């Protein structure tokens, strides 16, 4: 019997609640001693408290071994402001995605997104696909340094520094916005290393670095140069690289050419959705946000508010995310068991949610998986 774990439980809202209920049915079937600690997070806390990720939840997460997260509704900034309770309106509160904040607060720099085509899944693009996406998870376009409107001193500084920027000098400050893309050597090094370490541990043959270094020379160039250095520490693993636009075509043309992909944050966001679609769509897109102190595991789909509470969506993405959590906790045997049970249910094909062409509910699917444990 394993040690007793503390697991943060963050359903969020929308179908996040449905899929976490399903996930619990599976986890409860395992010989895993765990205390599940609920955390408030989601749209209702934004509306009532002006914070979708209240401080009490952040404090709770400081004291757990790992957490499962469902999904959260996000709305455009202006609409979010209007949905605040009247007492909080006009106070300059800005809605920011809680999952992006958790990644930054807890320095969850590895986003791990395996994309595996399980045998018998009618939604597989091709049978046999088995790709693992490593997405940098804390910096790049997600660093949160953004300006709208642009402060005059920043405009002046940029005009001094760059003549390429001069076309914007003719615009009024409120006619453009700036979002910074910031990448660091340390941030690039650690995600690339995570990809290579995974390849070594799981006997994967190739790591492909995804970038756009031909155009975005400073930050993407840094990412690619860092990869070339890191690769020297892993001589047994082949490394190649691809421009992000080209990889979207090549992944469709021949997905079997790819093994482990390592991407900067924004490109990883995009490429991992493509990867999920190759193996059945977002109902199969599992993910782990992993740092040195905690891992937070979540399906990569959104909150799908129109399906909330209908127990209709596919919980497999979440159940496979729980498998990633078990691996992270060092309970790899239990992780294997969960994956085996999922694979068996998919192969048998009797229990299928609507996305797979069936009529089974979220809970039917979870029970079918749990019965095989």
**Interacting residues with Mg ion (CB under 5 A):** 269
What is the DSSP pairing of strand 295-299 with strand 286-290? antiparallel
Please tell me whether residue 13 adopts helix, strand or coil conformation. Answer: coil
**d(Cα 13, Cα 287) in Å, to the nearest integer?**
18
Taking the complex as a whole, the smallest distance from the CB of residue 52 to ligand IPM amounts, in Å, to: 11
Half-sphere exposure of 254 (CA within 13 A, CB side): 3
Q: Tokens 């400050």 appear where?
A: 173
Measured from the CB atom, the residue of 100 and 343 that comes closer to ligand IPM is 100
Stretch that binds ligand IPM, among 33-41, 95-103, 119-127, 187-195 (CB under 6 A): 95-103
Measured from the CB atom, the residue of 231 and 262 that comes closer to Mg ion is 262
Which of 312, 319, 303 is closest to 363 using CA atoms? Answer: 312
Taking the complex as a whole, the smallest distance from the CB of residue 100 to ligand IPM amounts, in Å, to: 5
Residue 100 site contact among Mg ion, ligand IPM, none (CB < 5 to 8 Å, cut-off depends on kind): ligand IPM
Contact status, residue 250 vs residue 257, Cβ threshold 8 Å? yes
Measured from the CB atom, the residue of 100 and 173 that comes closer to ligand IPM is 100
Measured from the CB atom, the residue of 30 and 141 that comes closer to ligand IPM is 141
Q: Tokens 């229990």 appear where?
A: 351
Exposure string over 22-61, b if 16+ CB within 10 A, otherwise e? bbbbbbebbebebebbebbbbbebbeeebbbbbeebbebb
- Span 98-137, contacts to ligand IPM by CB under 6 A: 99-100
Taking the complex as a whole, the smallest distance from the CB of residue 269 to ligand IPM amounts, in Å, to: 5
141 makes contact with ligand IPM (CB under 6 A)? no
Contact status, residue 340 vs residue 372, Cβ threshold 8 Å? yes
300 makes contact with ligand IPM (CB under 6 A)? yes
Measured from the CB atom, the residue of 99 and 345 that comes closer to ligand IPM is 99
Residue 88 site contact among ligand IPM, Mg ion, none (CB < 5 to 8 Å, cut-off depends on kind): none
- Span 267-286, contacts to ligand IPM by CB under 6 A: 269
> Under rule CB under 6 A, how many of the chain's residues touch ligand IPM?
5
Taking the complex as a whole, the smallest distance from the CB of residue 99 to ligand IPM amounts, in Å, to: 5
97 makes contact with ligand IPM (CB under 6 A)? yes
73 makes contact with ligand IPM (CB under 6 A)? no
Residue 99 site contact among ligand IPM, Mg ion, none (CB < 5 to 8 Å, cut-off depends on kind): ligand IPM
Measured from the CB atom, the residue of 210 and 239 that comes closer to ligand IPM is 210
Q: Tokens 């809970």 appear where?
A: 363
CA angle 349, 297, 299 (to 5 degrees): 45
Shortest Cβ contact with ligand IPM: which residue?
Answer: 97
**d(Cα 236, Cα 249) in Å, to the nearest integer?**
27
3-state secondary structure 188-255: HHHHHHHHHHHHHHCCCCEEEEEECCCCCHHHHHHHHHHHHHHHCCCCCCEEEEEEHHHHHHHHHHCH
Taking the complex as a whole, the smallest distance from the CB of residue 33 to ligand IPM amounts, in Å, to: 29
Which residues lie near ligand IPM (CB under 6 A)?
Answer: 97, 99-100, 269, 300
């Amino acid at each position: 019997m394993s040690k007793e774990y503390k697991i943060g439980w963050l359903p969020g809202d929308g179908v996040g609640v449905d899929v976490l209920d399903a996930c619990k049915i599976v986890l409860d079937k395992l010989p895993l001693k765990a205390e599940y600690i609920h955390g408030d997070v989601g749209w209702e806390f934004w509306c009532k408290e002006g914070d979708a990720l209240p401080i009490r939840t952040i404090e709770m997460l400081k004291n757990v071994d790992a957490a499962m997260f469902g999904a959260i509704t996000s709305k455009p900034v202006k609409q979010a402001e209007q949905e605040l309770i009247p007492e909080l309106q006009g106070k300059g509160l800005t809605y920011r995605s809680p999952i992006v904040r958790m990644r930054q607060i807890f320095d969850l720099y590895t986003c791990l997104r395996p994309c595996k085509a399980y045998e018998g899944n009618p939604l597989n693009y091709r049978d046999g696909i088995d790709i693992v996406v490593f997405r940098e998870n804390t910096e790049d376009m997600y660093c949160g340094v953004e300006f709208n409107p642009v402060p005059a001193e920043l405009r002046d500084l940029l005009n001094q520094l760059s003549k390429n920027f001069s076309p914007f000098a003719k615009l009024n400050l409120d006619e453009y916005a700036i979002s910074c893309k910031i990448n660091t050597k340390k941030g690039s090094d650690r995600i690339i290393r995570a990809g290579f370490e995974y390849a070594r541990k799981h006997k994967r043959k190739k790591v492909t670095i995804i970038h756009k270094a031909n155009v975005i020379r400073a930050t993407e160039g840094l990412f690619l140069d860092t990869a070339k250095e890191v690769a020297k520490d892993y001589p047994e693993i082949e490394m190649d690289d691809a421009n992000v636009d080209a990889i979207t075509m090549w992944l469709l043309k021949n997905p079997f050419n790819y093994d482990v992909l390592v991407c900067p944050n924004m490109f990883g966001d995009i490429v991992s959705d493509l990867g999920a679609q190759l193996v059945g769509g977002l109902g199969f897109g599992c993910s782990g946000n992993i740092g040195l102190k905690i891992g937070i595991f979540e399906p990569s789909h959104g909150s799908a508010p129109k399906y909330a509470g209908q127990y209709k969506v596919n919980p497999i993405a979440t159940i496979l995310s729980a498998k990633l959590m078990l691996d992270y906790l060092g309970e790899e045997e239990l992780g294997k068991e969960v994956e085996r049970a999922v694979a068996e249910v998919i192969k048998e094909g009797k229990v299928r949610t609507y996305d797979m062409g069936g009529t089974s509910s979220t809970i039917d699917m979870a029970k079918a998986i749990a019965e095989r444990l």
